[in-house]
């Protein structure tokens, strides 16, 4: 397999293909007849998934940290490059995305009835954005893709959503945009500082890595970045957009939102916040705040979830609880914690995605999401019941499912450094049963006493096709998480060492940059600042002086800016 | 990647096998799992067919097809379900006999794949075979097979027949994982897995809201215990950097301080786990409710195997408990309290299964006492004999309920088929059940020479001799004796009310009372034999020499003690070093034989007196008798109001807090803030819009003016 | 030369601006806007002597944009005239929130 992939140069084009081919797919979807759009979108995303599977083999677990690197100048004047590359962490995030998309689209076949072309086009656009976020090495490009994911999701919720869709869509958009705007400010500040340090402008991750920042600067930047990602994750108390967005979003929207979009936040913490601001990220107060918020999220969200009358809202709150596990895993800064957090991310993507799909199927049958409206469904829909029970068990982390591996490792890693917080977080295990089992019982068990429910159909062939890969993966990852953990380990170790080494720019960073080989310091595109030794602001002032300045000054500026006349 | 052969064989790992060559240990696990898969597929097929019937307006309860014959989905499980168990049992037995012949000092470990390799943690999917796991496996597959066989008769008319066997096979698989796991996480897989199966089986008839509730309660309460187990694993990992049994138990004496905080914390968390699974105070409340499941399930899961997992856990971690005397004392104290407390509740229950449930809780308390005072072999011994006679009692009760159900169903009488007040005089109709259940009753009451006598006596004896270390154990010893007396009382009460006296079911109904079919009575018979002779494998020397051991005639002297010695050797060594040997005399004097005689005589007297008392009393059927109205009887009937108490101080406050979090914090505080930000922005915008006249000239003027101001600022 | 050119540019700009501010006829306002643009163009050209060729390039940009703007703007004015039959901007006050 590896030989074949090498022969076709897989590593060189795969990331570009995964980012841009969905856009080509949009063209195909828009040109297709209305009723064929879904099939084309499904076929297209399935093809992309098959393509992305090659990454499993082409990514060498023993190779360099970042692989499949490439870099092309985009906006040279500002050092913005179209730079891609993945490590073990982004590898699985990309696979999760390409895996979720066709399933979400297949699950939408009956749910979305209006403006199908537009819907599937937006889904494909979403995929471009998400894969872009996970694959990019350039912070500016990251921001572009990060924001790009917002737009399609806004329309998906706002157009195909439920009754309060406008409120939910606007809330979702404003919440996230607020955070990411602050992040933009942070990115720009970091960029200027890096430029002072490097002598040339660059947004490339490797160039920004090791930028000397004082602790104060790091803390401010941490807040700017952290807020954007904390909202996206979402971390308590920035979570209230999530239940609204989930409840109002159409099924496929919820699936993608839960399975992948929330991961952008956690990924942002891992990829950028921890390595770029190591001192702030390891600062005891910061760590304590993040861990405490994570733990509160776990318990609080579990409690709130338990009293939701709306099944979809319940599952939405469980997302908050799960992402709390991810957060504590990340900020415990131990190998086990990070590995666990990452597995929780993958597991949550699969199990919560499946839960939303199942709830969507129930909604298609009964047009309600009220838990009390159901009861005894297991009698008329045994296949659906089986899928729901397995998924619920994976969601609450019963061993043998993916959820357990993740939660166990995350808690274990947290305990190594913060036993008390791990203790509190572990109570989430109890509360998980407290919110999930009553829902399962009220939907599947209890008397089959409603006439509408008696006529309910079991899963159709299409629905089985939607759910079975998800259920299969939950069990597979629960039993054989080894290959995933192996591939993520170098990335996890690197993050921990980056943070431990602080801003010093130690050997590991150099090593990480070295073997990739494709990236050299670009020649300064605009020599002005470097040669003037002043900032761009000075140049503007100089220009202003030119107008009514002295002849000597004029002459000096003319020489300085290279005017040969 | 992974062939069947690999799964069956595994990769030998670590230590010398001491000449013991295990035969396909993986296959022991694989068989029930395959049974689950096969039955599961059949169950889905049967379920889909039933669902179609319900959608078509039928009731979905009918099994037979249009031709009147049972479909293959209901005939195949009869062979698959018990079949895989028989296969597993034979394999276990072969392995057991192979192990018998060798001196095995260290467990044989077979590793299959690396389960969770994170970089710093390494957990293998590995199983281990040693004397303790072998005993457990024998009980699980042996008793398990008998109960599967019994189930064939008991459940044959249930529409969920294949689903039942699927769950039951899955349970056996997880139970085997629990006892065979070579490290804590693998054990935990089984631990939660059996909890899951228990959840599914308690709520097997999920259409009944109460039964579904009972399953849910079991799962959630068990999760509290699982939380404890998780925490224990975390501390162990933080201390040892590994979660393998071998490494931990080997290094524990060096890395832990005797009686230190760390080891005490670990063992207390382990105890929390054990308390949850083994239904001890304060987490016992789920077990009586768990009787909502089919009766063979109660026999297998809630009497013979799963609930003893806590005892297994303490015995397995004996080294740790030996190093933490406070925790060990806590184990024994909880055991004694539970034994006595549950016994008092059992006194006043009318539901035959509830009596047995509380009896199980009480007997588990005895086992806890045993392992708590360091008599691990005695605890495991009682675990084993209890598995025999309690499984027998439950299966017997199942046969009774089965029969009662038929009788009541024949005239559509809406009486409770499980209420003993509606029974009476059943010995005429069900002689085999009657005799075998009496054997079990005598065994559980601790009457010589039945199995329970030896095991319970040994525990009481060790608790008493531990009185030499601390006055606490003298108190516990008294409680144990009291609980033993109560056991004899409530069990006899149950037997007399069920089988003796006049029949109260009703004349028309009584015609339909019948003995259970052969596939149900054979397991009863086998278990009855085991209940008689099962105790003979571990008769300590002094007893064996006395009358109770037939003056040395009984075949095996303290066989189980010596068999388990390699497993408990570490713990015993620590005990010896720190506390010294057990005294050979009870707290108030008298040797083992004397107290054995006292105990059995006492039990016998209680049995006889109780029998006379209840034979003389006229019992009214349930609808006439009603509930006890006042006094201690009412309190006991209502189980000391513990459920109500928990509801008041735990369940409701959490629910109320949850609602508060949602309605107030989430909606008002957080969302209120968010929406307030939105409202403020809107207000500012409205204010700003006042400056917009809509006249182009105004705008142009403002633009020009602003530009001038900016320019002015630049210039000056 | 530079100073003189800039002064001319400033005069033209102010004339244009005043026209925009005081006149009510949409067409006149429009022409005044054009005048302002071209005043800026003039300063661009003048400054480009000192600041490099970019200034001249920008003039072309501005002219292109102005042309496009003229097309769109006149179209709008015609559309308005058809509707209201007047081009007096005092009559249009819909340009608010």
Whole-angstrom distance, CA of residue B98 vs CA of residue B92: 10
Whole-angstrom distance, CA of residue A190 vs CA of residue A182: 12
Mean local confidence (pLDDT), A149-170: 91
- Count the helices and strands in chain B (H runs, E runs): 30, 3
Over residues A465-517, the pLDDT tens digits come to: 999 999 999 999 999 999 999 999 988 988 888 888 774 444 444 455 444 43
Q: Under an 8 A CB cutoff, do C20 and B700 touch?
A: yes
Distance from CA of C54 to the nearest CA of B (A): 23
Neighboring chain C residues of B704 at a CB cutoff of 8 Å: 17, 20-21
pLDDT at residue number A520: 46
Mean local confidence (pLDDT), A199-222: 87
CA distances from A253 to A115, A170, A309, A312 (A): 15, 15, 21, 12
Distance from CA of C3 to the nearest CA of A (A): 8
Would an 8 Å CB–CB cutoff place C52 in contact with chain A? yes
Neighboring chain C residues of A561 at a CB cutoff of 8 Å: 52
Would an 8 Å CB–CB cutoff place B234 in contact with chain A? yes
Angle at B184 between CA B183 and CA B189, to 5 degrees: 105
Evaluated on CA atoms A222, A225, A228, A231, the torsion sign reads negative
Question: Does the pLDDT at position A281 exceed 80?
Answer: yes
The interface residues of chain B toward chain A in range 667-686, judged by CB-CB distance below 8 A, are: 670-671, 674, 678
DSSP A213-227: --HHHHHHHHHHHHH
* Sequence-ordered list of residues with C-beta below 8 angstroms from that of B481, at least 6 positions apart, any chain: B460, B599, B602
Which chains does chain A touch, 3 or more C-beta pairs < 8 A?
B, C
Neighboring chain C residues of B690 at a CB cutoff of 8 Å: none
Burial label, C84 (beta-carbon count in 10 A; 0-12, 13-18, 19+): exposed
Q: Under an 8 A CB cutoff, do B54 and A454 touch?
A: yes
Question: Does the pLDDT at position A374 exceed 50?
Answer: yes
Closest to B394 measured CA to CA, from B300, B285, B286, B292: B300
Would an 8 Å CB–CB cutoff place B562 in contact with chain C? no
Neighboring chain C residues of A554 at a CB cutoff of 8 Å: 50
Over residues B250-304, the pLDDT tens digits come to: 999 888 889 889 999 999 999 999 999 999 988 999 999 999 989 999 999 998 8
Would an 8 Å CB–CB cutoff place B697 in contact with chain C? yes
Residues β-bridged to residue B181: B127
pLDDT at residue number B12: 66
Mean local confidence (pLDDT), A96-104: 94
Stronger pLDDT, A200 or B545, i.e. the higher one: A200
pLDDT at residue number A516: 41
Length of chain B: 716
Mean local confidence (pLDDT), B496-500: 91
Which of A77, A545, A546, A553 has the highest number of chain C CBs within 10 A, making it the mutation to test binding with C?
A: A546
Length of chain C: 97
- Quick check: helix, strand or coil at residue A209? coil
Give φ, ψ of B554 to 5 degrees.
Answer: -60, 140
Q: Under an 8 A CB cutoff, do B654 and A376 touch?
A: no
Mean local confidence (pLDDT), A257-274: 92
- If phi > 0 it is left, if psi is from -120 to 50 it is alpha, else beta; for residue B434 that is alpha
pLDDT at residue number A48: 94
Q: How confident is the model at residue A390 (pLDDT cuts 50, 70, 90)?
A: very high
Domain-wise residue ranges, chain C? 2-84
Mean local confidence (pLDDT), B626-642: 81
Would an 8 Å CB–CB cutoff place C61 in contact with chain B? no
Distance from CA of C52 to the nearest CA of A (A): 7
Question: Residue B199: closest CA among chain A residues belongs to which residue?
Answer: A437
C-beta separation of B383 from B312 below 8 A: yes
- Count the helices and strands in chain A (H runs, E runs): 29, 2
Report cis status (omega within 30 of 0) of the bond before A234: yes
Closest to B171 measured CA to CA, from B306, B58, B69: B306
Would an 8 Å CB–CB cutoff place B684 in contact with chain C? no
Closest to A524 measured CA to CA, from A208, A211, A199: A199
Distance from CA of B655 to the nearest CA of A (A): 7
pLDDT at residue number A99: 94
Q: Under an 8 A CB cutoff, do A563 and C50 touch?
A: yes
Whole-angstrom distance, CA of residue A258 vs CA of residue A320: 10
Closest to B666 measured CA to CA, from B674, B654, B656: B674
Place of tokens 């690396």: B114
Over residues A507-540, the pLDDT tens digits come to: 444 455 444 433 444 444 433 444 444 444 454 4
Angle, helix A382-395 to helix A461-479, in steps of 10 degrees:
30
Neighboring chain A residues of C50 at a CB cutoff of 8 Å: 546, 554, 558, 563
Would an 8 Å CB–CB cutoff place A412 in contact with chain B? yes
Mean local confidence (pLDDT), B541-567: 79
- SS in 3 state form for chain C? CHHHHHHHHHHHHHHHHHHHHHCCEHHHHHHHHHHHHHHHHHHHHHHHHHHCCHHHHHHHHHHHHHHHHHHHHHHHHHHHHHHHCCCEHHHCCCCCC
- SS in 3 state form for A492-523? HHHHHHHHHHHHHCCHHHHHHHCCCCCCCCCC
pLDDT at residue number A503: 45
Task: Write the CATH number of the domain with boundaries C2-84.
Answer: 1.10.287.3510
Question: Does the pLDDT at position A549 exceed 80?
Answer: no
Place of tokens 């509801």: B647
Would an 8 Å CB–CB cutoff place C50 in contact with chain A? yes
* Sequence-ordered list of residues with C-beta below 8 angstroms from that of A4, at least 6 positions apart, any chain: none
C-beta separation of B319 from B249 below 8 A: yes
Its pTM stands at 0.88
Q: Under an 8 A CB cutoff, do B700 and C21 touch?
A: yes
Would an 8 Å CB–CB cutoff place C20 in contact with chain B? yes
Angle at B178 between CA B116 and CA B155, to 5 degrees: 125
Q: Which value does ipTM take for this structure?
A: 0.91
DSSP symbol at B158: -
Give φ, ψ of B285 to 5 degrees.
Answer: -60, -20
Q: How confident is the model at residue B8 (pLDDT cuts 50, 70, 90)?
A: low
The interface residues of chain B toward chain C in range 438-467, judged by CB-CB distance below 8 A, are: none
Would an 8 Å CB–CB cutoff place A558 in contact with chain C? yes
Q: Under an 8 A CB cutoff, do B219 and A398 touch?
A: no
Question: Does the pLDDT at position B55 exceed 90?
Answer: no
Edge-to-edge order in the sheet of strand B108-117: B11-13, B108-117, B122-129
pLDDT at residue number A61: 84
Neighboring chain C residues of A547 at a CB cutoff of 8 Å: 6
Question: What is the number of CB-based contacts under 8 A between chain A and chain C?
Answer: 10
Would an 8 Å CB–CB cutoff place C29 in contact with chain B? yes
The neighbour count for residue B233, using CB atoms within 10 Å, is: 24
Evaluated on CA atoms B580, B582, B584, B587, the torsion sign reads positive
Half-sphere exposure of B323 (CA within 13 A, CB side): 23
Pick the range with the lowest mean pLDDT from A437-441, B412-416, B442-446, C23-27: B412-416
Mean local confidence (pLDDT), B181-207: 93
Structure tokens at A282: 């390891």
Q: How far is CA C79 from the centre of its chain?
A: 20
């Amino acid at each position: 397999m590896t030989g074949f992939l090498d022969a076709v140069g897989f590593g060189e084009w795969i990331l570009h293909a995964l980012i841009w081919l969905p856009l080509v797919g949009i063209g195909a979807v828009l040109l297709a007849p209305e009723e064929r759009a879904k099939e084309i979108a499904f076929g297209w995303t399935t093809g992309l998934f098959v393509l992305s599977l090659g990454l499993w083999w082409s990514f060498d677990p023993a190779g360099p940290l970042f692989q499949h690197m490439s870099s092309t100048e985009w906006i040279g004047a500002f050092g913005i490059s179209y730079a891609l590359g993945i490590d073990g962490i982004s590898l699985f995030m990309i696979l999760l995305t390409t895996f979720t998309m066709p399933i979400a689209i297949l699950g939408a076949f009956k749910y979305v009835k209006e403006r199908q072309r537009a819907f599937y086009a937006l889904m494909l656009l979403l995929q471009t954005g998400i894969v872009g976020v996970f694959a990019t090495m350039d912070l500016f490009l990251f921001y572009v893709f990060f924001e790009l994911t917002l737009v399609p999701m806004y329309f998906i919720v706002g157009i195909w959503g439920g009754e309060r869709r406008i409120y939910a869509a606007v809330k979702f958009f404003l919440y996230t945009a607020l955070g990411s705007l602050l992040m933009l400010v942070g990115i720009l500040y970091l960029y200027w500082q890096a430029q002072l340090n490097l002598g040339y402008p660059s947004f490339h991750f490797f160039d920004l890595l090791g930028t000397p920042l004082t602790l104060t600067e790091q803390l401010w930047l941490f807040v700017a970045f952290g807020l954007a990602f904390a909202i996206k994750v979402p971390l308590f108390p920035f979570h209230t957009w999530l239940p609204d967005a989930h409840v109002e979003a159409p099924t496929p929207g919820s699936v993608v939102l839960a399975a992948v979009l929330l991961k952008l936040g956690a990924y942002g913490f891992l990829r950028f916040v921890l390595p770029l601001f190591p001192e702030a990220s390891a600062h005891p107060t910061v760590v304590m705040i993040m861990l405490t918020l994570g733990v509160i999220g776990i318990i609080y969200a579990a409690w709130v979830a338990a009293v939701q009358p709306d099944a979809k809202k319940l599952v939405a709150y469980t997302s908050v609880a799960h992402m709390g596990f991810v957060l504590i895993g990340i900020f415990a800064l131990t190998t086990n914690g990070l590995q666990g957090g990452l597995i929780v991310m993958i597991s949550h993507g699969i199990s919560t995605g499946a839960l939303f799909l199942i709830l969507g199927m129930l909604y298609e049958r009964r047009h309600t999401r009220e838990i009390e409206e159901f009861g005894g469904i297991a009698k008329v829909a045994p296949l659906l019941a089986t899928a729901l029970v397995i998924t619920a068990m994976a969601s609450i982390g019963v061993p043998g499912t993916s959820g357990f591996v993740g939660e166990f490792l995350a808690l274990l890693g947290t305990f190594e450094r913060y036993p008390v917080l791990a203790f509190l977080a572990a109570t989430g295990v109890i509360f998980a049963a407290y919110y999930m089992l009553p829902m399962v019982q009220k939907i599947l068990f209890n008397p089959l006493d409603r006439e509408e429910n008696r006529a309910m159909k079991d899963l159709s062939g299409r629905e089985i096709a939607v759910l079975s890969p998800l259920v299969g993966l939950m069990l597979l990852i629960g039993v054989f998480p080894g290959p995933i953990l192996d591939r993520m380990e170098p990335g996890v170790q690197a993050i921990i060492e980056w943070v431990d080494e602080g801003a010093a720019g130690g050997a590991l960073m150099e090593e990480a940059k070295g073997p990739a080989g494709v990236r050299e310091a670009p020649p300064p595109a605009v020599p002005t600042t470097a040669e003037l030794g002043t900032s761009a602001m000075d140049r503007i002032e100089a220009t202003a002086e030119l107008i009514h300045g002295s002849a000597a000054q004029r002459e000096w500026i003319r020489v300085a800016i290279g005017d040969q006349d | 990647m992974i062939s069947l052969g690999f799964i069956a064989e595994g990769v030998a790992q670590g230590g010398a096998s001491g000449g013991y060559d295990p035969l396909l240990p993986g296959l022991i696990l694989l068989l029930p799992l395959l049974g689950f898969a096969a039955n599961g597929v059949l169950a889905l097929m049967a379920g889909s067919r039933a669902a179609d019937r319900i959608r078509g307006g039928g009731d979905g309860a009918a099994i037979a097809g249009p031709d009147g014959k049972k479909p293959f989905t209901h005939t195949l499980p009869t062979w698959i379900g018990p079949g895989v168990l028989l296969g597993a049992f034979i394999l276990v037995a072969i392995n057991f006999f192979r192990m018998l012949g060798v001196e095995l000092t260290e467990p044989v470990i077979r590793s299959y794949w690396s389960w969770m390799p994170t970089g710093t943690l390494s957990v293998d999917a590995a199983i281990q075979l040693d004397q303790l796991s072998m005993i457990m496996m024998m009980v699980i597959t042996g008793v398990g097979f008998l109960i599967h066989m019994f189930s064939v008769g008991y459940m044959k008319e249930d529409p969920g027949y294949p689903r039942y066997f699927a769950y039951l096979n899955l349970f056996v698989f997880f139970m085997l994982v629990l006892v065979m796991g070579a490290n804590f996480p693998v054990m935990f897989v089984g631990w939660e897995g059996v909890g899951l199966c228990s959840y599914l089986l308690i709520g097997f008839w999920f259409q009944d809201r109460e039964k579904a509730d009972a399953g849910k309660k079991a799962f959630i309460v068990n999760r509290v215990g699982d939380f404890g187990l998780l925490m224990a694993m975390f501390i162990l990992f933080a201390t040892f950097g590994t979660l393998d049994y071998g490494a931990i138990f080997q290094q524990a004496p060096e890395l832990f301080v005797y009686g230190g905080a760390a080891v005490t914390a670990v063992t207390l968390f382990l105890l929390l786990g054990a308390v949850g699974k083994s239904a001890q105070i304060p987490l016992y409340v789920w077990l009586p409710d768990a009787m909502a499941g089919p009766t063979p399930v109660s026999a297998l899961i809630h009497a013979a195997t799963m609930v003893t997992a806590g005892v297994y856990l303490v015995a397995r971690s004996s080294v740790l408990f030996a190093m933490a005397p406070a925790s060990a004392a806590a184990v024994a104290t909880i055991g004694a309290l539970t034994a006595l407390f549950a016994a008092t509740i059992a006194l006043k229950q009318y539901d035959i299964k509830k009596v047995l449930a509380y009896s199980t809780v009480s007997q588990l308390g005895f086992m806890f006492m045993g392992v708590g005072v360091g008599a691990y072999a005695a605890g495991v011994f009682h675990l084993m004999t209890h598995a025999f006679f309690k499984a027998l009692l439950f299966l017997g009760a199942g046969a009774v309920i089965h029969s009662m159900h038929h009788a009541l169903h024949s005239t559509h009488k809406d009486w409770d088929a499980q209420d003993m007040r509606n029974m009476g005089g059943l010995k005429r109709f069900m002689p085999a059940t009657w005799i075998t259940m009496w054997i079990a009753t005598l065994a559980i009451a601790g009457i010589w020479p039945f199995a329970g006598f030896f095991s319970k006596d040994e525990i009481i004896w060790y608790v008493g001799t531990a009185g030499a270390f601390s006055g606490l154990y003298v108190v516990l010893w008294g409680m144990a004796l009291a609980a033993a007396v109560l056991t004899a009382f409530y069990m006899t009460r149950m037997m007399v009310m069920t089988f003796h006296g006049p029949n109260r079911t009703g004349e028309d109904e009584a015609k339909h009372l019948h003995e259970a079919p052969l596939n149900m009575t054979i397991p009863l018979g086998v278990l009855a034999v085991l209940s008689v002779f099962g105790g003979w494998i571990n008769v300590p020397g002094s007893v064996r020499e006395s009358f109770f051991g037939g003056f040395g005639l009984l075949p095996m002297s303290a066989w189980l003690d010596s068999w388990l010695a390699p497993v408990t050797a570490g713990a015993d060594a620590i005990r010896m070093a720190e506390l010294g040997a057990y005294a050979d005399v009870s707290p108030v004097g008298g040797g083992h034989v004397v107290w054995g005689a006292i105990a059995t005589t006492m039990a016998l007297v209680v049995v006889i007196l109780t029998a006379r008392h209840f034979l003389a009393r006229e019992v009214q059927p349930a609808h006439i008798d009603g509930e006890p109205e006042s006094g201690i009887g009412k309190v006991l009937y209502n189980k000391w109001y513990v459920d109500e108490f928990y509801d008041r101080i735990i369940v409701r406050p959490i629910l109320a807090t949850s609602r508060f979090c949602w309605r107030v914090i989430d909606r008002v505080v957080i969302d209120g803030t968010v929406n307030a930000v939105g409202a403020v922005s809107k207000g500012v915008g409205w204010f700003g819009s006042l400056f917009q006249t809509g006249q182009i000239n105004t705008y142009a003027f403002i633009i020009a003016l602003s530009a001038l101001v900016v320019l002015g600022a630049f210039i000056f | 030369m530079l100073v003189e050119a800039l002064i001319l540019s400033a005069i033209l700009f102010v004339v244009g601006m005043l026209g925009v501010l005081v006149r009510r006829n949409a067409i006149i306002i429009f022409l005044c806007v054009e005048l302002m643009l071209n005043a800026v163009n003039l300063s661009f050209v003048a400054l480009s002597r000192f600041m490099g060729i970019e200034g001249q390039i920008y003039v072309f940009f501005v002219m292109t944009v102005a042309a496009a703007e003229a097309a769109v703007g006149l179209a709008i004015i015609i559309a308005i005239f058809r509707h209201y039959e007047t081009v007096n901007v005092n009559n249009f006050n819909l340009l608010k929130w």
